[in-house]
Amino acid sequence: MPPPRTHNSILPTSRRPQLRLLRHHRVILLDAGAAVFFASGGAMSILKGPHRGRATTPIFLDRSIFGVDGFKTTEGGVTFEDVEPPGAPADKAGLVGGDIITTFDGRAVRKESELMDLIRQTPTGKPVEVIYLRDGEIKKTQLTTISSQESNQLERAYGNRAEGQGIFGYNNGDSKRVFVPTSKIFGVRLDRVDQNGPADLAGIKKGDIVIEFDKTPIRTSDELLSRIPVKLGKR
């Protein structure tokens, strides 16, 4: 994979996504678009660069599309790594990678095949209740599936976006999902930050744990990677 490239474009204030990090058990709020704000009140500029993320395809079920990169069985239910494409049912329902689905439309799910069967049996456009676990808490949301045609349209829009992972100056393999000590929260730890890259110059350090990006909880590396180009690619 080629190293991230950066360029000198800077996002307008109205489009600056925010990134929350945990550093030494201290929450730092970062504006990851054009300026990075620290707890001390200082600010440093950060550049926008391209992103070379992995290509993904939504799950094409017989009748309905859920909108994630794939399901897998886990303790307590069924989970997934990230929501894709943006604007798909899972995204609109507020789900994020790492959530554990326990109930779909009133039916308990214990493994991925059970959940996929239930989605196949769900008419497109039918609102269903989804119960899931996040950070050890039980949550509920309503999800409305869409057709494969609608999902294709969203996927094309996502594929045509302006890319931008280079803004942080780290590669796909340089982050890891970790449990935040003394909490019930998972986050994404940055294990390496490119020296003199945008992230380094902005004050982002090796070992920082990302827990939120642009008001979206971040619990998996794939979720962070999928969210960054969406927000930074807006024109």
Q: What is the structure's pLDDT at 183?
A: 83
Q: Are 30 and 44 in contact (CB under 8 A)?
A: no
Q: What share of the chain is helix, strand, coil (3-state, %, to 5)?
A: 20, 30, 50
Q: Which pair of tokens denotes residue 153?
A: 């349209």
Residue with tokens 């070992």: 207
Task: Characterize 3-30 residue by residue with b for buried, 16 or more Cβ atoms within 10 angstroms of its Cβ, and e for exposed.
Answer: ebebeeeebeeeebbbbbbbeeeeebeb
According to CATH, the superfamily of the domain at 71-159 is PDZ domain (2.30.42.10)
Which has the closest alpha carbon to 197: 18, 67, 44, 28? 44
Assess whether pLDDT exceeds 90 at residue 114: yes
Q: What secondary structure does DSSP assign to 110-145, as a single string?
A: -SHHHHHHHHHTSPTT-EEEEEEEETTEEEEEEEE-
More confident residue, 32 or 146: 146
Topology adopted by domain 13-52+163-232:
Pdz3 Domain (2.30.42)
- As a whole number, mean pLDDT of residues 94-101 equals 95
Q: What is the structure's pLDDT at 101?
A: 98
Q: What is the structure's pLDDT at 18?
A: 63
Q: What is the structure's pLDDT at 194?
A: 80
Tell me if residue 101 falls in helix, strand or coil.
strand
**Domain edges within the chain:** 13-52+163-232, 71-159
Residue with tokens 């945008």: 198
Tell me which DSSP letter residue 162 carries: P
Across 51-55, 97-101, 158-162, 189-193, least confident range: 51-55
Bond preceding residue 85 cis, omega within 30 of 0? yes
> What tens digit of pLDDT does each residue of 162-210 get?
554 445 566 666 888 888 888 888 888 888 888 877 677 767 788 888 8
More confident residue, 6 or 126: 126
Q: Do 13-52+163-232 and 71-159 share a fold?
A: yes
Q: What is the pTM of this model?
A: 0.68
As a whole-number percent, the residues of the chain with pLDDT over 90 amount to: 28
> What tens digit of pLDDT does each residue of 12-23 get?
444 555 667 666
